[in-house]
Amino acid sequence: MKKAVYPGSFDPISNGHLDLIRRTSKLFDEVHILVSYNVNKKYSFTTEERIEMIKECTKDLKNVIVTSSSDLVVQYCKENNIHIIVRGMRNYSDYENEFSLFQYNRDIYPGVETILLMPTTKNQVVSSSAIKELVTFGCDISKYVPKPIVEKVYNKLKN
């Protein structure tokens, strides 16, 4: 069975994230969507809220498992016999970050590979931080956030 993990903070999940999840689910038998902890981020949604939003948006994908971890992604991979980490890459700064992570991950777990997926054109600039900023200024976020959670995201971030 080919398994992959797609980690991220998903704070909140965006249409860009969902696009990568859907595409990844076609490539692997089992895809773990890992809500991971980043020491450099301040979260707007709890881990449980993020998991529930992702589950709501991926309920039609039978090979997707949504979970969380406060460990390193590569440790999660080791513990779950996963050899592929899928990451989205929107721009050059994403590439620099992923290149560094790739080196550390391979040092910690030599059996892991990283696959970088490019966003579709309409999702190239979508980011969770941009969505938060749009809500702050009262803008419509429906082009950037999956339909089932638009209202939930808007209400949480507006308050």
22 is catalytic: no
62 is catalytic: no
Catalytic residue among 9, 14, 17, 25: 17
- Nearest residue to 63 via CA among 98, 38, 28: 28
Packing angle, helices 47-58 and 15-27, rounded to 10: 60
Q: Strand 64-69's sheet: what is its strand order?
A: 64-69, 30-36, 3-8, 84-88, 113-117
Q: Are 56 and 17 in contact (CB under 8 A)?
A: no
100 is catalytic: no
143 is catalytic: no
Catalytic residue among 90, 106, 132, 156: 90
Residue 102 to residue 22: CA distance in whole angstroms: 23
Tokens of 103: 């080196």
Catalytic residue among 9, 14, 44, 128: 128
Catalytic residue among 2, 41, 122, 143: 41
Return the amino acid letter for 110: P
Give catalytic residue positions: 17, 41, 90, 128
